[in-house]
Structure formats: structure tokens, C-alpha cells
Structure 1
Amino acid sequence: MEEIYKYYKEHFNISESDWKIFSSKLSRQQFPKKGKILKVGQTENYLSFIERGIVRFYLPNENSDLTFSFAFGGSFVSAYDSFLTQTPSHYIVEAITPTVLWRLTYDDLQTVYEQSEIGNLIGRKASEELFLKKSKRELSLLNESAEERYLNLFTERPELIRQIPLKFIASYIGITPQALSRIRKRIS
């Protein structure tokens, strides 16, 4: 919980009283490698902060799953559309590596909004972070080549990207594993 406290102190200058309210609502949950955090048809009930681990979001498909996002330690993670609307998810959220999450339920987040001075700011910043990540991904798909998308992902988190199976990376940047192999050969 120390890492999440540091994050909130650094980004929001959270007071001790607000931290007590907020931290009292957090629960720690561990997921093994390949552990499903959320399945298709389940409603997302958590806004989570990744203490450690890598999470992927994907649409299951008979032939090949479509990976559309990754989340890394030190960031928020949620099937946010399902969380906001409290409706079933159309995709899967899965731990790629052993993952530790600090989780806040939808109802507890509403309580934090009501009872703390900083709750609305925390909620807004979490939603802004998730929106900006989604927007960046969409613009990348529209404006960059597969090679540029690969290099950007590799540049953002080089120490972690090596832990993601190449088939997930290929799916994420919108190419086949064979095409990714050719890109990797070309740039090495």
C-alpha cells in the first residue's frame, strides 16, 4: 500500500485524513500469470491500481484473440466502460505476469467522492489517465506504421515489454506474429 500512498501524495498531495478514508476502502488482490481479472459478461466493479505486474485487455476470438491494451505497474486499470455504466464487459482483462492490484469498488468510490475533499480529484485523474491512454492508442493506430507502434511500445516500457509474449504484441500493434518477427529482424 506504500506505493499507492506515494503515488497519491506525489500526484494529489493527499491529506492524512483523506488518505485514511481512501485507504480504508482499498483491498489488495493477487492474480497469477494468465489469471482472469474480468471475463466477458461480468460487470467491472473495481477501479484498481497496479502495484506490480502487467495486464492485458483483449477480445476473445476463435482464431486469434485481439489484444487492444496493456497496463503496467504504477498505473490504473479497469474495464472502465463497464465500470462507469455498471453493465457487462465485452472483453477480458487478464494478468500476463503475476499481478498485485489495490482495488476500490464502485460503491466505495462513490463513498470516497462524498466523504473526502480530494475524492473527486482522484476519480477525475484516474478517468483522465484511462481516457488519454485510449486516445493515444487510437491515434497511434490511425497515424503510425506497425513498426512505429512497436518501437513506441518498446520505448515506453522496455524493461517490461520483454515479459509480454510476442503474439500479444503483434495483436496489439495490428499485425501477425510473422510480420512482427520481420520488423524485429529489420531493426536489430
Structure 2
Amino acid sequence: MGHIREYYERIIKLQETEWKFISSHFSRKVFAKNQIITRQGETENFLSFIETGIVRFYIPDDENELTFNFSFDKEFTCAYDSFLTQTPSEYELQALTETVVWQISFEDLQKVYAQTKVGNYLGRFASEKLFLAKSKRELSLLKYNAKERYLRLFSEQPDILKFIPLKYIASYIGITPQGLSRIRRQIA
């Protein structure tokens, strides 16, 4: 739980009573490598803080899965649109490595919002951060070609190439694995 408190306290100093109340609503869960965290068609009931691990967001398909996001250590993650609306998710979340998370349920998060001022502030901050990441991704797909997207990904998140299979990176930047191989040869 210390990582969550550190994350929060980079934003705002927490009173001990606030922290105890907030932290009492989180529970620890471990997902095995490649385990599905949220299934397509299920409603997302948990907002998760990743202590360690990598989570992939993708649309399952028999022929071509579409990877569209990743979450890493010390980040909040979930099928956020499903979580907010409490409707079935249109995509899946998968642990790419053994992943340890601290989860808070939708119902418990509503209690934190209702009973703490700081909880509302932290919720807004997390929501804004998720929105900005989504906007950045959309703009990248519209503004840059595949090679530029790959180079930006490499410069902004160099560790991504160490831990994520190239087939998922190719899907994430919107090309085939063969297209990614060509780009990597051009750069080398």
C-alpha cells in the first residue's frame, strides 16, 4: 500500500485518518502472467493500482487482436469507461507479466468520494491523467506515421521494448509485425 500513498502524496498531503479510511477500501490481488484481468462483456468493478507488472488493453479477435494501451508499475488501470458507466467492457485487460495490484471496488470508491474531500480531489486527478493519456494516444494516431509513432514510443517509453512482445507493439502503433520489422531494419 505504500506505493499508493506515495503516488497520492505527490499530489496532496494526506492526513493519517484520511489515509486509513482510503487504504481500508483497497485489497491486494496477484494476476499470473497472461491472465485476463477484465473480460470483454464483463462490467469492470475495480479500479486497480499496479504495484508491479504490465497490463495490456486489447480487443480480442480470432484473426487479429488490436492492442491499444498498456499500463505499468505505479499507475492506476482498469477498463475505465466500463467502470464509470457500470456497463460491459468492449475490450479486455491482460497481465503481460505477473502483476500485483491494489484494487478498490466501484462501490467503495463512491464511499471514499462521499466521505472524504481528498478522495474527490484524488479521483479527479486520476481521471484527468487517464483522459490526457487517451488524448495523447488519439493525436499520435492522427498526426504521425507508423515510423514516427514507433520512434516516439521508443523515446518516451524505452522500457516498453524490453518487456512487451513486438507483436503487441506493432498492433499498438497500428501496423503488422512485418511492418514493424521493416521499420526496425530502417532505423538500425
Taking structure 2 as the reference length, what is the TM-score of the superposition? 0.97
- Secondary structure at the aligned position of 1:12 is classed as coil
Pairwise mapping of residues 7-26 of structure 1 onto structure 2 (< 5 A)?
7-26=7-26
Q: Which runs of 4+ in 1 moved over 3 A?
A: none
Pairwise mapping of residues 51-90 of structure 1 onto structure 2 (< 5 A)?
51-90=51-90
Partner of 2:110: 110
CA distance in 2, matches of 1:76, 1:161: 21
- Secondary structure at the aligned position of 1:50 is classed as strand
CA distance in 1, matches of 2:40, 2:15: 38
Pairwise mapping of residues 131-170 of structure 1 onto structure 2 (< 5 A)?
131-170=131-170
CA distance in 1, matches of 2:155, 2:101: 24
CA distance in 1, matches of 2:161, 2:121: 31
User: How many percent identity over aligned positions?
Assistant: 57
Structure 2: gaps of 5 or more residues: none
Distance 1:108 1:131, change over 3 A: same
Per-residue CA deviations over 1:142-184 (Å, capped at 9, x if unaligned) read: 0011111112222222224311010000000000101101111
Per-residue CA deviations over 1:31-62 (Å, capped at 9, x if unaligned) read: 11101000011100111111111111000111
CA distance in 2, matches of 1:57, 1:80: 11
**What is the identity, as a one-letter code, of the residue corresponding to 2:80?**
Y
CA distance in 1, matches of 2:58, 2:176: 15
- Secondary structure at the aligned position of 1:29 is classed as strand
**What is the identity, as a one-letter code, of the residue corresponding to 2:2?**
E
**What is the identity, as a one-letter code, of the residue corresponding to 2:56?**
R
Structure 1: gaps of 5 or more residues: none
For this pair of structures, how many residues does the alignment match?
Answer: 188
Per-residue CA deviations over 1:104-127 (Å, capped at 9, x if unaligned) read: 100000100111120101111111
Taking structure 1 as the reference length, what is the TM-score of the superposition? 0.97
**What is the identity, as a one-letter code, of the residue corresponding to 2:70?**
F
